[in-house]
Amino acid sequence: MTSTRETILQALFAKLQIISDAKVLRNEVLPERIHGGGLLILRDGDPGQPEITLSPLSYYWQHQAALEVLVSHADAAQRDAMLDDLFQAIAEVLADDRTLGGLCDRVMPDAPIVTTLGIDGAPSVKASTVNIELIYTTADPLG
């Protein structure tokens, strides 16, 4: 039996795989090369401490998953455009179903945190973290 938390993370991962050009991974180490269409790595993140209601006993979570978004290209303007395209694709995919088929009360991405990484002998990498808030309720503290 799969926990509610794991079911939601699997559904989010499946949803992100709809983004056609990007390679999508979950909880993987950063590979040596960034896929030409960009790379998304979903990190399970922090479920935090739930709010608890007693009747009926339930746990209300505001889980913060993290989505690492990476692109690489020799041209800075092209990197910027590629990253923006991925942000738009992520927004579109998440807006399509803010409840992941009714598994969550709400799925909401935060504004991205962006940085550029210089790598000796390779095109620069533009990297971002997009925190995705997953709001859901479980009957058990282990999710």
Tokens of 1: 């039996």
Q: 3-state DSSP call for residue 119?
A: coil
What is the pLDDT confidence band of residue 84, given thresholds at 50, 70 and 90?
very high
pLDDT at res. 32: 82
- Token pair recorded at residue 123: 């095109």
Q: Which two tokens stand for residue 134?
A: 């997953």
In the structure encoding, which two tokens stand for residue 104, read together?
Answer: 């969550």
pTM over 0.75: yes
Q: Stretch 23-31: mean pLDDT, rounded? A: 95
DSSP states of 6-68 as a string?
A: HHHHHHHHHHHTT-SSSEEEESPPPPSS--TT-EEEEEEEE--PPEEEETTEEEEEEEEEEEE
Is residue 124 within 8 Å of 53, Cβ to Cβ?
A: no
Domains parsed from the chain with CATH numbers: 4-138 (3.30.70)
Query: Sorting pLDDT into bands at 50, 70 and 90, what band is 91?
Result: very high
| Chain mean pLDDT for the chain | 94
For residue 143, the model assigns a pLDDT of 76
